[in-house]
Structure formats: C-alpha cells, structure tokens
Structure 1
Amino acid sequence: MKRVALAGTENLTNYIEALKENDIEAVVTLDIDEAIKCDGLLIPGGGDIDPVYYGEEMDGSDEPDRDLDKAQRDILDAFVKSKKPILGICRGMQLINIYFGGSLYQDLETKDIHTRKNDNDTVHSVRSVAEGNVFEKFYGKNFNINSAHHQGAKKLGKGLKEVLQSEDGVCEAIIHEELPIIATQFHPERMSYKQRRDDAVVGEEIFKYFRSLLK
C-alpha cells in the first residue's frame, strides 16, 4: 500500500477517506523526517497563510497559524527537493504557489462567488485555459466545481501553469511544468465517494490521477 503524508492538523476525515478509497494510507504528520518516508504529500485546505511569505503585510488575510505555515512549508520543501508527487488542495495550492515565488489576493473582490454559504460549499463553473490538461481530459472544457475560499493566486510561482479558471478570472488549478505537482483551489475530497454532489463533477478522478503518480 502506498503511503501519503497528510500535512494537516484538523478536519482531515474526507482527505483520509478519499486516499483510502485509492488504496493509499494517510500518514497525518507535520514531522519532516516521518513525512519524507512517504511516497507522496497532500497539503489540505485550511486557514490563511501569513502574507510575510510573499512579501506583504496583513491586508484582508485572517490571522494565520504561523507554526502550521512553517511546518507545512518545510515539508513541502523536502518533497519538492526529493521530486516526489504532491497534491495541494485550497490552502495547499496557495502554499505551493507561494513556495515557488507566487503571491495571493488576500481578499478577493469577487469572494461572494467562492465563499461558503450557510456552512455549505458554493458551486460555480470553471473553464480549461490550457489545452489538453489533465482536468480537461477528465471533465471537458467547462464544468462545475465546489468552492470555499476568499483568497486566490495572484502572481503565479516559477514553473507553475494555470490550467483552470473561474468565471471571474480566479485561478482554480495549477500544475508544475516539470515536477509531479498538481493543485486545486477547490475541494475534490468533498466531491468524491460518499461526498459526491449532484451539481458538480466527481472529484475522484483527481485522486486517481494522484495515485498514478506515486511510485
């Protein structure tokens, strides 16, 4: 069974279940030495990242968990250097973008399209902006996804490629042009298996693809 380091601290049940459905053991840890023994890394959703990491002061970000920021970044650094597969989801995508030198919109002007309503994910459409990318192969050129965030990628980090975009121009997914890194601003773990939705695509394809990257 493949093992994936799940670098988070709370609300991880859906990630664990999605990995388990793909015969992957989730190793929940923020310890680098334990994490790097795994075959891949999943950085889950969560709160806002300290904008100091992309050279800005607080300007719309929620108060960050600085210990978590550092721990996740250090683990990400280890996996990037080892060239092992990485899946980033929501906060995870933002952290990956920042790591490679990108920045964030700290509070999107169009956040009402993306934030949760009454504790439920919002649903909106996205379009493929890179011909033949993996998401387009799975779902076509236009499809619906869930959404639960108020920040988004502004400047893209070095080596990263935007592949999906929402109707208001927000980046919804990225891939690395050389490394086995894939990331979504949306939450496929809440569109998969027991969490499937009738109003959005099935997120399982993303986890199946991540499983295929694991050596």
Structure 2
Amino acid sequence: MTRPLIGVSTYLEPGARWGVWELDAALLPAAYPRLVQRSGGLAAMLPPDAADHAEATVARLDGLVIAGGPDVDPARYGAERDPRTGPPARERDAWELALVDAALAARVPLLGVCRGMQLLNVALGGSLVQHLDGHAEAVGVFGGHAVKPVPGTRYAAAVPEEVTVPTYHHQSVDRLGTGLVPSAHAADGTVEAVELPGSPWVLGVQWHPEMGDDPRVMRALVEAAG
C-alpha cells in the first residue's frame, strides 16, 4: 500500500547548533515526523518559502500538518500586541497562511497543531485570545489536562472519549473563523479543537499529539489523506 505523503511545516531558526556547526536551520521536533510515520504516512518537512510557492507545494502532498511554534502576529487578525505575546515570526506566518489557503482550495486534508490550529482560525477570519492562564505549567515543560469531545464532530469520531492531552500554550481561539465549529473543550471552557464540517478533512487541535502516545488524531489525518 502506498503511504500518503504528509507535509509538516517547520521553524526557521538563526544560529542553531549541532556538532561543530552553528548555522541557520530549518527545524522540526522529531516527534512530528515520528508520529506521521507511526500513523502510516511519509513525512516531508516544509520550511518557510515564498508564499506564492504554496499552491505548487500543496499540490504534491496528500496531507498537510501546520506545526506548533511561536505566537501568531496579532496584526494578522487586526489586534494590538499584548505585552505577553511573543515576538512575531512574520516569514513563517506568511508561508503557513499561504499553505492553509492552498490546502483549503485544493481540498487537501489539513491538521493544525497548537499554533497551527490558531493560524487556521486566523486564516478563516477569526481572532485569538492573546494570553490564557493555566494551560502551560512551566517554561519549556509540557503539562496535561483533559479535553472533552463534542458529540457528532470529526474529532469525536476519532477520539470519542474524554482524554488527557499534552499541552503547552498561552493563547487560544477567540472569535471563530468562518465555517469553523468547536469539536473539543477543556474543563474551563477553552476551545481545544476546531474543524470544518463536511469535506475536505480539516481539524485543528490546541494540544500537542506528537508529545503523547495516542496516534488517533494523526492517524485520522493520514487515513483521510490516503
């Protein structure tokens, strides 16, 4: 059986270090491609590129993952920067928004992870809460909390029960983008997953499935891509 090709967006970081080298690098935590592979897909890294290359890039993929990372620039959703919002990653914002638009237009299955879910919401005209307490335990440490699926949603079809998920975020969706519906919530009411009903397959999760041992969300993407 042919394994679907799943593109995963990456960081672009100055001065990364490995071995004797300190160079600019396209980076992606290994947990992302490992989860794609465990779920039956082939993983391809998609470092930031010119936005007008997104359509041709997505045309070669069977599925797309927009990975976690820095805060989305508030200018993208018409807001003033909160002092607690991190520095912008404008090159990555532009590239990933173009990838999302291309995937939606081409009906390529799409999964947004943490920042990726927030960017999906912004791409569809939504906005973000710029600071949220209680969803990141400590700097650089993944926490965990329960999320409850909304019955009848795509997410609930993949994960029908309440589960504890790996989490690390301080922002969340505010106004939902056009067509998006919530498909999971935290105990405090925070929207933890969003999706576009019907076709194409589009889902965003606020947590980090790559940091856990439950492959069902990624497996659902890979199955849709296949």
Normalising by structure 2, we get a TM-score of: 0.83
Determine if the alignment matches structure 1 residue 21 to structure 2 residue 32: no
Q: How does 1:84-95 map to 2 (within 5 A)?
A: 84-95=108-119
Cα distance change on mapping 1:118 and 1:56 into 2, 3 Å:
closer
Counterpart residue number, 1:156: 176
Counterpart residue number, 1:40: 63
Determine if the alignment matches structure 1 residue 61 to structure 2 residue 85: yes
Cα distance change on mapping 1:84 and 1:140 into 2, 3 Å:
closer
1:141 Cα deviation after fit? 4.2
Q: RMSD value over aligned CA atoms?
A: 1.6
Whole-angstrom CA distance in 2 between matches of 1:174 and 1:73: 17
The correspondence for 1:136, drawn from 156, 172, 175, is 156
Counterpart residue number, 2:218: 207
Cα distance change on mapping 1:36 and 1:165 into 2, 3 Å:
same
1:99 Cα deviation after fit? 0.6
* Percent of residue pairs identical: 28
Of 114-123 and 43-52, the range deviating more from structure 2 = 114-123
Counterpart residue number, 1:5: 7
The correspondence for 1:177, drawn from 197, 203, 208, is 197
8 Å contact from structure 1 (residues 87, 181) kept in 2? yes
1:98 Cα deviation after fit? 0.5
Normalising by structure 1, we get a TM-score of: 0.87
8 Å contact from structure 1 (residues 27, 35) kept in 2? no
The correspondence for 1:187, drawn from 176, 196, 208, is 208
1:103 Cα deviation after fit? 0.5
Larger Rg: 2
Q: Which runs of 5+ in 1 are unaligned?
A: 197-201
Describe the superposition over 1:72-105 as per-residue Cα deviations: whole angstroms up to 9, x where unpaired.
Answer: 1111111111011001000000000011111000
1:48 Cα deviation after fit? 0.3
Whole-angstrom CA distance in 2 between matches of 1:134 and 1:205: 12
The correspondence for 2:100, drawn from 71, 76, 96, is 76
8 Å contact from structure 2 (residues 58, 108) kept in 1? no
DSSP-derived class of the 2:176 partner: coil
